[in-house]
Each structure stands twice: as C-alpha cells, then as structure tokens.
C-alpha cells in the first residue's frame, strides 16, 4: 500500500483506541463510585447497630412489658379494622373508566355548545344578511321566492330586434323629414321584404 494510506490507517487506529480507553475509564469510575457508596451505607448500618447494642446494658435484649394503654390502642385498631371488613361493598357506588370517560365527554360537549352559542350570538350581532341574522339558512324562504321571468326580447327569434330597427327607422325619418318607406327600402330593399321578415318571426 501507499505510505500515505498506511499513515492514515494508523492514525484512525490510534484515535479509536484512545476513545475506547476513555470509555473504559469512565465506566470504571462509575463502578468505583457505586462501590464507595455501598461501603458507606454498610458502615453506617454497622455503626447504628453497635450504638443500639451499647445502649442495652446486658448482652441480650431485655423483654419489654406492654403498657395497658398500648393494649387498648391495639384493640381499638382491630375493632376499626373489623368494621371496615364488615362494610357491604354492594352499597358502595362503583365507578368504571368507561363511565368516567362518558361523563367527561358529556361535559366537553356541553362546554363546546356553550362556546358555539356565544360565538354565534357575537356573529349574529354583526351579520348584514337578513336571512342569516335571525338564525336562518342564508337563503330566503321558499314561499317568498318569485318565479323568474325571462326578459322580453331574449330568444324571440329576432322579433325584438326587428321592432327596434323599425322604431329607429321611424325616428330617422322624422329627423331627416323623409318618407318612412324610403328609409326601409334603403336598409331592406323594400317595405314588403321588411314586413315579410316581421311576419316570419311573429
């Protein structure tokens, strides 16, 4: 291999080995700390045991006689415990997670309805469309809708156009002080042709 490549490989190997050493050192430090903590705990326990033993004058622990008060307290505790044991569990209300979820869901829906009602009231105050304003659908009621009528002159086969043309020719004849038939003859050829076109359309 080339010497440059060999040098580069050796560098990588050294860097890699240094990283491993650092990791091992860190790991060993953690283990050492844990061991120290365990030793300290053990020492503390041993010392506390030795102080307990030193407070007792004899080698063995002495027998303690219970007081009457402690016996009464124990009896009352056992009686309370017995009462707790005798409670009828069927009379206690049980709650399941599904019922809790259902209650939360109903509360959430009620809250959403309240917020929507507030938003709607605010929007309705500012609404300009009278059909939206009073809680409507935004469209006028069906009984108020008027039937749509076609505008005169639309799709009538040119009848309105011919009538308008006739009207203009009459106006032109009045302005120019000419005969109406002469103006019709100039535009359509003759009065008979114009009248025949009017009859066809009507």
Q: Residue 153: which region, alpha, beta or left (left: phi > 0; alpha: psi -120 to 50)?
A: left
Whether the Cβ atoms of residue 198 and residue 158 lie closer than 8 Å to each other:
no
What's residue 147's pLDDT?
A: 57
Across the range 95-109, mean pLDDT stands at: 90
Q: Which of 182, 178, 201 is nearest to 190 (CA)?
A: 182
**35: Cα separation from own chain's centroid:** 52
pLDDT at 125: 80
Q: Is the pLDDT of residue 55 over 70?
A: no
Q: What is the pLDDT of residue 168?
A: 92
Task: Answer for the pair 187, 169: CB distance below 8 angstroms, yes or no.
Answer: yes
Q: Quick one: pLDDT at residue 162?
A: 87
Residue 39 CA to residue 27 CA, distance in Å, equals: 19
- How many Å apart are CA 98 and CA 111, to the nearest integer? 20
Distance CA 77, CA 81 (A): 6
In tens, the pLDDT along 23-33 reads: 666 667 777 78
pLDDT tens, position by position, 141-186: 777 655 555 555 566 777 888 889 889 999 999 999 989 888 888 8
In this predicted structure, the answer to whether residue 54 has a pLDDT above a threshold of 70 is no
Query: Which of 5-9, 51-55, 122-126, 170-174 bottoms out in mean pLDDT, i.e. has the lowest?
Result: 51-55
Residues in the chain: 202
Q: Which two tokens stand for residue 59?
A: 């080698």
Instruction: Label residue 73 by pLDDT band (50, 70, 90).
Output: low
pLDDT band at residue 78 under the 50/70/90 scheme? low
d(CA 199, CA 196): 5
Q: From CA 96, how far away is CA 125, in angstroms rounded?
A: 44
CA dihedral 130→136→137→142, nearest 10 degrees, is -80
């Amino acid at each position: 291999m080339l010497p440059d490549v060999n040098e580069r490989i050796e560098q990588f190997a050294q860097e890699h080995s240094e990283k491993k050493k650092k990791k091992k050192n860190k790991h060993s430090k953690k283990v050492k700390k844990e061991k120290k903590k365990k030793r300290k705990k053990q020492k503390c326990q041993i010392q506390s045991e030795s102080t307990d033993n030193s407070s007792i004058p004899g080698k063995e622990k002495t027998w303690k006689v219970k007081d009457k008060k402690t016996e009464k307290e124990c009896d009352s505790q056992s009686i309370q415990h017995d009462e707790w044991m005798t409670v009828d569990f069927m009379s206690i209300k049980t709650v399941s997670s599904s019922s809790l979820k259902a209650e939360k869901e109903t509360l959430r829906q009620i809250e959403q309805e309240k917020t929507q009602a507030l938003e709607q009231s605010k929007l309705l105050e500012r609404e300009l469309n009278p059909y939206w304003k009073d809680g409507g659908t935004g469209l006028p009621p069906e009984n108020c809708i008027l039937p749509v009528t076609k505008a005169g002159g639309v799709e009538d086969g040119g009848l309105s156009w011919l009538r308008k043309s006739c009207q203009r020719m009459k106006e032109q004849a009045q302005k120019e002080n000419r005969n109406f038939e002469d103006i019709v003859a100039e535009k359509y050829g003759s009065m008979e042709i114009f009248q025949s076109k009017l009859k066809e359309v009507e």
